[in-house]
Structure 1
């Protein structure tokens, strides 16, 4: 009973009794909780074989049943679960709160409650007497999944939504476009998927690896697939935030429509979808034609995704072609901009204002604060030479007077801007450490904390030689459990701009769902507790207690079929002997 993950705010054991679910048990769903009732009845019927007939009303006669209802005195995602002689009652401030309570109920029933069919018909199902009162720490508890580098078929995405829900995560950041593949159907521009959704071959391992997967790789989601994913997520109270990456990470789009690239610098008609990793030098040309093309893309994206936020990427935009292009240089002069960094800021602000005018909010990686290159210490490369490690923003020092991007504080037509040059509603995904988020919050922008050094789950989990394709820093389960999303540099008022946090899963070296599982779990369980629970300061957290609770959670993951990294290290078939990665030795200290 004390093995719940994430840990609830309050759990008080009852007098030692239990509610036994039987063939006569009913499940009652009150007004506005019918969807939760349908979900709960479905998963419990599958696992237990019990019919869980629909109850007609909530009263004391359902002593062996389950009741779901709203309580207006609770917060939107807050819930109360009471199991006693009257049965199991879950109350929430909204259907979302009731749903999170239902997730806790499933954990109380044991790991077998996560199976798709009952293991034996004579098993007794019981919920111990308990009172749980719980609410999340953050409103944004996210997972970013990169389906551009390696495509994940729709069923795999739906599976990850279920895994997110089981961990009380509620924002799915869907990275749909990049140099290596375009994954969403855009009807006005069909070549984006006809050409941009597949590549002829794929590098196996990091770019230094000599190995290639010599077969086409690709796939995309039709608009009906997207509608299904969004609806499936909504049933689980998960918001889907799409990412269309601009103006960098766009080679797949340029391969499909060469006129989007810098045609006066290179022959863009010769480009194909990129088959290597890293940062391509081929970026969008900042022309009116490009702006209108992507407006048409975003028009269809807005029809498919009802989310408040739309992610535009904005990261790692190489400036070499812009510096060499007479057309781009003339545009910089015509706009009265200082340089290529200011041009990238102008490009992002165009879509910031465009989205704001349509009632949505732009969110982008922290480069949108300053144009994308001030924190880089090397130029992006497209060769097979080893990439120099990027220094995180934390190591660059304090921002210049007025904050990063103060040189680009130009008022864009049609909307107000802050001192960072963004519309007030724009938000920042702080990935290069904490400093981008600190700067944004201090300027009044909302922030999602996802620093590479703490919550990039593509980074290796151990320093041992058996880790498959080791990437980045060593970040153990304990390291993730010690992550603190709110930097101490922020005042209480500034800290309120931290919407929450998310873990990011980049899939360059994850060729299938088993590799994604291995990198993501069990660390996502630790992250989920950081995002949900009111934990003490990192130095005071009880990791030993969390590890003990993970003993039961591993059995839940087994029942769900998750190919997680075992605590003793990778299984033989999880290793990738001889395949080179890009491990980084050492790391800046945590904030």
Structure 2
């Protein structure tokens, strides 16, 4: 079967098919209401199927029900001629993932928003599929800070994630180049910090500029809608508010947050280029109280009970330059008062403060692997981006881990060698490279390996100015990543990439129906190239696991 991600087991298909037509009814047992709504709204619209309510014993029916003998996200899809289609899930999410498989079985037209062949007979192969995910956390990071993605684009990506059985959207909401979340008690964060006067085109060494202002932010109601839309699709939204580095936009709006005894923070503006800004947060009580106020509103917008991983709040913690702290009398005084050794200890103290603050409110801190430096509270989790080392160290120290090493799953990195790749950034990571990615670090014990919650692909948008560029960098590699995150694949060297490519032939038709501007396997289309825009080519193999 041409399913992506590949299921654990398929029995059949037989030569017969189970018809789905205007007389097909839909019965939904208790706990399956979200999937019932999704099927009527999505398949109903795409294929002109009314899917009227009907009794569970109807012969031409789709039946949804929970089965506590299955794992929470596991499902069993039975399509039997004369009995219809039955989807059992260990929990509501399992039923929903079974419905995603049903959609793929119905062909690419099931991925459209309106019927193009409403009179064509539809059918599901007579088969049984038993399936369950390998990892609980199957994530996608969208960087909406460097280039803003309007709300409609985020909702679209939630649908694309659901179609690939991904279940965590990590929203990178703040950075040096923009602040994207409305905080009512601090209005200048959206009045000032949410837009920049111009933008560097390409790598920071490029001489090219887009002189148009760039900006945007999500209102609080926008974010409530995004969270609710995600929850309907059993997707957790994890917000990231980056501290204490990557904070120039916030300092531009509120100069008292910066190291004013070292630089003229009142003269700062939202950063218009790329890289790592030296303007970091001052380690003062003023800064702590300010960000406590920010996080209070964040917790209200991202409730802990929305979905499985909703208790998590990401605080960044990466790439915090220390030059200003080294020169700052205020920072040196804080280091002395706290009995710390150096500026690295100061960053650890800063992260530890918010770890304690979030834990007291029933939430869990997660941050990039730099937060391990200087020690980390037991309940905190780590996003391992600088290779496998951080993830392995975190797991051995008893922390939960999400594996997202840049050498494998940073989808802003170019997809092929050569000058045709638009704005060639980072390592060459082909579709096959992503497909052969193994999330669990080598050398962990079985107990340590269980600390790996899962894996995540990261889409950083410094060189992605619009949704078409995001699509190009993300797809088709996200399909390969989804299979890595979901399916019980063999070791990287033994994976059947040729078989995956054959299944992708069908999947490209689904992506076409969804309107995804993916990179074709033959290379970029003429309008997808960016001739003359400087990138940052880095060659070399990924580090050893």
How high is the TM-score relative to the length of structure 1? 0.90
Is residue 20 of structure 1 aligned with residue 16 of structure 2?
no
Is residue 162 of structure 1 aligned with residue 159 of structure 2?
yes
CA apart distance, 1:587: 3.0
Is residue 298 of structure 1 aligned with residue 301 of structure 2?
no
> Where do residues 468-479 of structure 1 align in structure 2 (5 Å cutoff)?
468-479=422-433
Q: Which residue, out of 48, 51, 56, partners 1:58?
A: 56
| Residue in structure 2 matched with residue 490 of structure 1 by the alignment | 444
Q: Following the alignment from structure 1 to structure 2, what is the Cα–Cα distance between the partners of residues 133 and 120? A: 30
| Residue in structure 2 matched with residue 441 of structure 1 by the alignment | 395
User: Are 2:77 and 2:129, in contact at CA under 8 Å, matched by a contact in 1?
Assistant: yes
CA apart distance, 1:583: 1.0
Deviations 1:86-123 (A, max 9, x none): 00000001110000000000000001100111112221
**Count of aligned pairs:** 538
Is residue 48 of structure 1 aligned with residue 47 of structure 2?
yes
Q: Which residue, out of 241, 245, 258, partners 1:244?
A: 241
| Residue in structure 1 matched with residue 10 of structure 2 by the alignment | 11
Q: Alignment RMSD, CA only?
A: 0.7
Deviations 1:239-282 (A, max 9, x none): 00000000000000000000000000011000000000000000
- 1:272 counterpart SS class: coil
CA apart distance, 1:65: 2.0
Q: Which residue, out of 326, 329, 345, partners 2:329?
A: 326
Q: Following the alignment from structure 2 to structure 1, what is the Cα–Cα distance between the partners of residues 542 and 35? A: 44
| Residue in structure 2 matched with residue 35 of structure 1 by the alignment | 34
Deviations 1:272-331 (A, max 9, x none): 000000000000000001000000000000001121110000000010100011111111
User: Are 1:311 and 1:364, in contact at CA under 8 Å, matched by a contact in 2?
Assistant: yes
- 2:421 counterpart SS class: coil
| Residue in structure 2 matched with residue 231 of structure 1 by the alignment | 228
Q: Following the alignment from structure 2 to structure 1, what is the Cα–Cα distance between the partners of residues 539 and 70? A: 47
Q: Following the alignment from structure 1 to structure 2, what is the Cα–Cα distance between the partners of residues 296 and 261? A: 17
> Where do residues 166-205 of structure 1 align in structure 2 (5 Å cutoff)?
166-205=163-202
Is residue 369 of structure 1 aligned with residue 372 of structure 2?
yes
Q: Which residue, out of 138, 146, 150, partners 1:153?
A: 150
| Residue in structure 1 matched with residue 419 of structure 2 by the alignment | 465
How high is the TM-score relative to the length of structure 2? 0.98
| Residue in structure 2 matched with residue 266 of structure 1 by the alignment | 263
| Residue in structure 1 matched with residue 307 of structure 2 by the alignment | none
- 1:16 counterpart SS class: coil
Q: Which runs of 5+ in 1 are unaligned?
A: 371-404, 406-420
Q: Which residue, out of 52, 73, 78, partners 1:77?
A: 73
CA apart distance, 1:590: 4.3
- 2:402 counterpart SS class: strand
> Where do residues 348-387 of structure 1 align in structure 2 (5 Å cutoff)?
348-370=351-373
CA apart distance, 1:153: 0.2
CA apart distance, 1:154: 0.1
| Residue in structure 2 matched with residue 379 of structure 1 by the alignment | none
CA apart distance, 1:64: 2.3
| Residue in structure 2 matched with residue 572 of structure 1 by the alignment | 526
Deviations 1:371-391 (A, max 9, x none): xxxxxxxxxxxxxxxxxxxxx
Q: Following the alignment from structure 2 to structure 1, what is the Cα–Cα distance between the partners of residues 410 and 343? A: 29
Is residue 515 of structure 1 aligned with residue 457 of structure 2?
no
Deviations 1:46-77 (A, max 9, x none): 1111211122x311x2x222110111111100
Q: Following the alignment from structure 1 to structure 2, what is the Cα–Cα distance between the partners of residues 578 and 512? A: 18
User: Are 1:14 and 1:84, in contact at CA under 8 Å, matched by a contact in 2?
Assistant: no
User: Are 2:169 and 2:238, in contact at CA under 8 Å, matched by a contact in 1?
Assistant: yes
Q: Which runs of 5+ in 2 are unaligned?
A: 304-309
Deviations 1:196-225 (A, max 9, x none): 000000001111111111011000000000
| Runs of 4+ displaced beyond 6 Å | none
- 1:15 counterpart SS class: coil
Q: Following the alignment from structure 2 to structure 1, what is the Cα–Cα distance between the partners of residues 354 and 155? A: 29
| Residue in structure 2 matched with residue 105 of structure 1 by the alignment | 102
User: Are 2:408 and 2:542, in contact at CA under 8 Å, matched by a contact in 1?
Assistant: no
Q: Which residue, out of 443, 454, 457, partners 1:500?
A: 454
Q: Following the alignment from structure 1 to structure 2, what is the Cα–Cα distance between the partners of residues 185 and 16? A: 56
Inter-CA distance 268–94: structure 2 relative to 1 (3 Å threshold)? same
